C-alpha cells in the first residue's frame, strides 16, 4: 500500500524511556552527575506548554476568524507533572513551594504563606533520544524549566504493601526583569557512534 509507511529514520528520532528530573544539566556536553537527580519517578513525566491566543480580528467586520496577521499569544501555561517515589527534605520543601527547612532541625519543614525568590528553581527533564544512546555520545531531549514553582501543592498517597507516591506539578514563571523571555527552552540532540 502506497501510504502504509514510516520514515526510514524513525528509530533515529524516537524519544525512549522515562527520562530523569535534574537540578542542572549541561546541554553543550550532555553530561550530568548522580547528585543532580532530584528523585525516582513513576509513570513518567509530562510536559505541556499551553498558549492562550487572542484574535484581534474577531470583532472586525468582514475579517475572517483566525486571521494570522491579527493573532497574538496572550499568555502561556508551562507545566511539568509527574510522581516522585522518593523524597527528602529539600524535595519536600520544593513540593510545598513556600516553606523553610529549620536551621537547627534539618528534619523539620515549615510552610509559609509568603513566596520568596528562593522558592523558584530551575528544573531539567532529560530523556534518551535517537538510536545511539551510549554513555559518552548518547542523544537526548532536554527541557529546561525556568523559575519553576510547585503549583499543585504537596501530596502524599500511601498504600498497603506499596510505595508512597508524591505527585508534583511545577509551573514555569516569567520574570519582571525579562518579561519577553518565555521561561523554558528545549534541546534535541541526536547521538553519535561511540568510540571503539
- Model pLDDT for residues 101-115, shown as the tens digit of each residue: 999 999 999 999 999
| pLDDT for res 12 | 81
For residue 196, what is its C-alpha cell? 571503539
Q: Look over the chain and give the mean of its residue pLDDT values, rounded to a whole number.
A: 93
Q: What is the CATH number of the domain that holds 52?
A: 2.30.110
* Interstrand relation of 109-111 and 121-129 (parallel, antiparallel or unpaired): unpaired
- Residue at grid coordinates 494570522: 68
> Does residue 1 form part of some domain?
no
Domain that holds residue 134: 10-189
Close Cβ partners of 49 (under 8 Å, ≥ 6 residues apart):
76, 77, 78, 184
Any idea which residue has 484581534 for its cell?
56
Q: How many residues does the chain have?
A: 196
Split into its structural domains, the chain has a count of: 1
Is pTM beyond 0.85? Reply is yes
HEC-encoded secondary structure of 68-135: HHHEEEEEEEEEEEEEECCCCHHHHHHHHCCEEECCCCCCCEEECCCCCHHHCEEEEEEEEECCCCCC
183 part of a folded domain: yes
Whether 153 is covered by a domain: the verdict is yes
Identify the segments of the chain with pLDDT beneath 50.
Answer: none
Is 5 part of a structural domain of the chain?
Answer: no
Tell me whether residue 63 is in a domain.
yes
Residue 196 lies in a domain: no
Domain assignment present for 33: yes
Domain membership of residue 154 (yes or no) is yes
Amino acid at each position: 500500500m502506497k501510504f502504509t509507511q514510516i520514515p526510514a529514520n524513525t528509530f533515529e528520532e524516537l524519544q525512549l524511556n522515562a527520562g530523569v528530573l535534574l537540578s542542572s544539566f549541561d546541554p553543550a556536553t550532555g553530561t550530568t552527575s548522580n547528585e543532580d537527580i532530584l528523585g525516582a519517578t513513576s509513570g513518567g513525566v509530562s510536559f505541556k506548554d499551553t498558549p492562550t491566543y487572542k484574535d484581534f480580528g474577531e470583532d472586525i467586520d468582514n475579517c475572517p476568524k483566525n486571521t494570522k496577521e491579527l493573532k497574538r499569544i496572550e499568555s502561556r501555561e508551562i507545566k511539568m507533572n509527574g510522581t516522585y517515589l522518593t523524597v527528602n527534605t529539600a524535595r519536600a520543601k520544593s513540593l510545598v513551594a513556600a516553606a523553610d527547612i529549620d536551621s537547627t532541625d534539618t528534619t523539620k519543614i515549615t510552610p509559609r504563606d509568603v513566596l520568596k525568590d528562593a522558592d523558584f528553581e530551575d528544573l531539567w527533564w532529560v530523556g534518551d533520544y535517537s538510536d545511539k544512546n551510549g554513555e559518552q555520545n548518547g542523544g537526548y531531549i532536554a527541557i529546561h524549566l525556568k523559575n519553576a514553582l510547585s503549583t499543585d501543592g504537596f501530596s502524599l498517597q500511601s498504600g498497603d504493601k506499596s510505595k508512597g507516591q508524591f505527585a508534583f506539578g511545577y509551573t514555569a514563571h516569567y520574570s519582571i526583569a525579562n518579561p519577553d523571555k518565555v521561561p523554558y527552552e528545549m534541546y534535541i540532540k541526536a547521538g553519535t557512534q561511540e568510540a571503539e
